Chain A
Amino acid sequence: MNRIDVNKTYKLFIGGAFPRSESGRVYEIKGADKKFIANPALASRKDLRDAVVAAKSAQPGWANATAFNRGQILYRMAEMLEGRSEQFINEITILEGVAKKAAQLQVSQAVDCLVWYSGWCDKLTSISGSQNQVSGPFYNFTTPESLGVVAVFAEAKPSLLATVRALAPVLAGGNSAILIASENFPLPAISLGEVIATSDLPGGVVNILTGKASELIPWVGSHMEIDGIDLTGVSKKQEEELRLAGVDNLKRIFRFSNTDHPERILSFMEQKTIWHPIGI
């Protein structure tokens, strides 16, 4: 008799814990072969509300950690993801229907992406800060600072890589994140919660919601405690909706091209300029 697998339950990831949706709802995910895989949670606006509370509360601690420490944690995430390669390769092949080799490549690229951004944490100000030569006896310098809470809608595919590519720069800049996984290809995103939970990342710095982007978009767009949005994964129409709703607190909103670049970090950072007189 073949051994019966113990199938995973896919829950939300909020504040470092794995709760079900407060609405009790789930939805069905089928693989590329149309077979049933799982019933991930269908997040509600209240789950989003809870995620924002967690993200907001965790953000100052994350921003105040040393850049070295943030880099260490992102590198640790890379180590943890590498260790779980098989798990993610399976999820990607079943979900996306791609060959194992392609899934392997995707996972190794995701690991390398985390390593890349981990190395940026303590170098950002070297490339984007400056001491400015103003006219007058003043020491004047500009330094980037974290923005706050950033919502991320990553592209649906490649399901793991696009998610990591969007999430890592947000974290490198000292922000906390609310990741809204793609509706049809959510599993690698929600499994990323397991990687995060074992990487010493403080609870609440990353929160992951699965469900219908269309249901959550009006709430993400209008939430006054969300400071920025990466909407690379949404449609043009949804983008307009988010941008309109985001005007009320002038959210910083961007769609990115398929690339790794320090600009993705700096887009979710503020620039502070400080003057100080020089004299006895």
Chain B
Amino acid sequence: MSDFEYASAPESRAIANIESNYGLFIGGKFVQPKKGKSFNTINPATEEVLSKIGYADKSDIDAAVKSARSAYLKVWSKMPAKERGKYLFRIARIMQERAREFAVVETLDNGKPIRESRDTDIPLAAAHFFYHAGWADKLEFAGFGSKPKSLGVVGQVIPWNFPLLMLAWKIAPALAAGNTVVLKPAETTPLTALLFAEVCQQAGLPEGVVNIVTGDGVTGAALVNHPDINKIAFTGSTEVGKSIARAISGSKKTATLELGGKAANIVFDDAAIDEAVEGIVNGIFFNQGHVCCAGSRLILQENVAEEVLDKLKKRMSLIRVGDPMDKNTDLGAINSKEQLNKINEISNAGDKEGANRWSPELKLPSKGFWFPPTIFTGVTQSHRIAREEIFGPVLSVLTFRTPAEAIEKANNTMYGLSAGVWSDKGSKVLWAAKQLKAGVIWSNTFNKFDPASPFGGYKESGWGREGGRHGLSGYLTAEAKVNK
């Protein structure tokens, strides 16, 4: 009887003015890389080339850091804090004005659904600037002493999963605290960072306060190793985070690291089951599972496992996979061929190790990089799919009988970024939150972010926090610590 198939509802591309090529943003201007090298950025949903991007090498990094240092010494560190704040307010307002444009460019470059860029990424990024703009002239009240000092020039390297949002998480607090920055966006997602550079120009931000240097891992290493950087802020894999920590161990540089995770999402039998199912879906399929804090291990109380899994599978069958520019798409493209290969490799290991794979029946587009929403049941802690970060839409399901067992399994990992707890009983939720070794605990919700809420991990999920009052400390000179 029903013919209620949602017709294609594409967001228009017209609003996005993507240039055919971009230079590097150094000293307030777009400049060509000194050696003239470039690379392409593509749309992972269609494999079309979107633009040619300048490739920054060591000499370009040098120029960028020089510019940042000069801006710091001559302008930014001398400027009254409330004026600094007003630049950040301007940036926030312009981001809000150009929100739709940013959302479309983000979706084209990253592959995530337009609904997510529009409703989550871009509003949060603008909010991050708005929030930190307000801290710039209030640092003396933030609990870091009566005259907290900035650090100087900060080198920042961000990942491809939330390109603009990760940029906001890095640049907003750095600038609010009085530092200047050189930021390297991820290789596969440079476009919104370059659009952000335009916003800096529109806001009249003094030249050199923000510098954007596009490139790859080698570019990032050159930035991290530059002698005139005071601090590094990095979000990415634990492996690269460790190499950064090694690289700076003999220097005066400090670092904050936001690394990987393998979060446990614990569902107790007294949870609000329908909402828990939504939370499970949101926890691992939001942003195609390209989320460091993704709820990638479902730890399910055995006596409700069958009911929950049955509802979960039915709910997964409603997930719409396809054109990220379609407003009804729930799951978009995998960001790159490399990432798709990684997801396939570990998922195949899951099959080999004896877990049971299930995905809803779907037709995937022929071009581009795609992976269906997938669950593995019959998983044990020793399976690779239970231990390694997959960074894709793949959920591993384990079961438990007692609360203590749930906690034990949840904590049994080298990671400690986030965890979820689902129960209608308040005291149990708080008890679990107390036991869990994770920097962010979501109770009866998941993947909630706010500029006022500190984010960061325990153990090998990183160092430091981003967001909130706590997040400021990473950008201010510590009162009690000594820089070797």
Contact = CB atoms under 8 A, between A and B. Distances in A.
Report if A and B touch in the complex (beta carbons < 8 A). Answer: yes
Interface of A: 67-68, 71-72, 75, 112, 115-116, 118-123, 126-127, 139, 262, 276-280
A112 B80 CA distance: 12
B95 to A, nearest CB: 13
Interface string B457-484: 0000000000011000000000000000
A123 B130 contact: no
B133 A123 contact: no
Interface string B420-431: 000000111011
B427 A280 contact: yes
B468 A112 contact: no
A119 B134 contact: yes
Contacts of B137: 116, 119
Contacts of B431: 278-280
B66 interface: no
Given A75-B89, A115-B86, A123 B430 contact: no
Given A115-B85, A262-B141, A279 B133 contact: no
Contacts of B134: 71, 118-123
Contacts, number: 67
B130 A71 contact: yes
Contacts of A67: 452
Given A115-B89, A122-B452, A262-B141, A277 B427 contact: yes
A169 to B, nearest CB: 13
14 contacts: A68-B130, A75-B89, A115-B89, A116-B82, A119-B85, A119-B134, A119-B135, A122-B452, A123-B131, A126-B452, A127-B142, A277-B426, A277-B427, A278-B427
A112 B428 contact: no
A115 B81 CA distance: 12
A108 to B, nearest CB: 11
Contacts of A280: 403, 427-428, 431
Contacts of B78: none
A123 B452 contact: yes
B469 A122 contact: no
A244 B49 CA distance: 75
Nearest to B454: A126
A100 B136 CA distance: 30
B143 interface: yes
Quick one: which of B82, B127, B133, B141 has the most chain A CB within 10 A? Answer: B141
Contacts of A121: 134
A279 B85 CA distance: 44
Chain A to chain B: the 8 pairs with minimum beta-carbon distance, closest first: A119-B134, A126-B469, A278-B430, A277-B427, A279-B427, A278-B431, A280-B403, A139-B430
Given A139-B430, A279-B431, A127 B82 contact: no
B428 A123 contact: no
Contact of A127 (B85, B127, B136, B141): B141
A229 B405 CA distance: 55
A276 B135 contact: no
B448 interface: no
B337 interface: no
B29 interface: no
Given A277-B430, A278-B427, 14 more contacts: A67-B452, A68-B127, A72-B130, A75-B130, A115-B82, A116-B137, A119-B85, A119-B136, A122-B451, A123-B131, A123-B134, A278-B430, A278-B434, A280-B427
B138 interface: yes
Contacts of A68: 127, 130-131
Interface in B114-144: 127, 130-131, 133-138, 141-143
Interface of B: 82, 85-86, 89, 127, 130-131, 133-138, 141-143, 403, 426-428, 430-431, 434, 451-452, 468-469
A120 B452 contact: no
A122 B131 contact: yes
B311 to A, nearest CB: 25
Contacts of B133: 119
Give the interface SS of chain B, mostly helix, strand, loop or mixed.
helix
B143 to A, nearest CB: 7
Contacts of A139: 430
A184 to B, nearest CB: 31
A276 B141 contact: no
B93 to A, nearest CB: 8
Given A68-B127, A75-B89, A119 B138 contact: yes
B118 to A, nearest CB: 18
Contact of B82 (A112, A126, A278): A112
A101 B427 CA distance: 61
Contact of B469 (A116, A120, A127, A276): A127
B400 to A, nearest CB: 13
A195 B452 CA distance: 28
A41 B396 CA distance: 71
Contacts of A112: 82, 86
Nearest to B403: A280
B92 to A, nearest CB: 9
Nearest to A68: B127
Nearest to B143: A127
A71 B151 CA distance: 28
Nearest to B423: A280
B131 to A, nearest CB: 6
B430 A276 contact: yes
Contacts of B469: 123, 126-127
Contact of B138 (A75, A123, A278): A123
A126 B469 CA distance: 6
B111 to A, nearest CB: 29
A115 B452 CA distance: 18
Nearest to A277: B427
B461 to A, nearest CB: 22
Contacts of B452: 67, 122-123, 126
Contacts of B138: 116, 119-120, 123, 262
Contacts of A119: 85, 133-138
A267 B95 CA distance: 34
A97 B190 CA distance: 56
A90 to B, nearest CB: 25
Contacts of B131: 68, 122-123
A119 B134 CA distance: 4
Contacts of B428: 279-280
A250 B468 CA distance: 35
A278 B89 CA distance: 41
Nearest to B131: A122
A83 to B, nearest CB: 14
Nearest to A112: B82
A115 to B, nearest CB: 7
Contacts of B451: 122
Contacts of A116: 82, 137-138
A199 to B, nearest CB: 14
A126 B138 CA distance: 12
